[in-house]
Amino acid sequence: MYIQYVGFTVAASSRTYNFEVLDLKEAREFAVRVQSEAFRPARLKLQDGPGICFTRLKQELQGETLESRTEAHLNIGERDVQEYLERATRGSLSRRKQHRISNRRAE
- Which domain covers residue 66, as residue numbers? 2-106
The total number of structural domains that make up the chain: 1
pLDDT 10s digits, 46-87: 999 999 999 999 999 999 988 999 999 999 999 999 999 998
Which pLDDT does position 101 carry in this prediction?
47
**Dihedral angle sign, alpha carbons of residues 97, 78, 27, 71:** positive
pLDDT score of 41: 85
What is the pTM assigned to this prediction?
0.81
pLDDT at residue 28 in the model: 97
SS3 (DSSP) at 18: strand
Q: What is the DSSP letter of 83?
A: H
Q: Which residues pair with 4 in a beta bridge?
A: 20
Residue type, 71: E
Q: At a CB cut-off of 8 Å and minimum separation 6, what does 50 contact?
A: 5, 8, 17
* Distance from C-alpha of 107 to C-alpha of 46, rounded to nearest angstrom: 38
Beta strand 14-22 with 27-35 is antiparallel
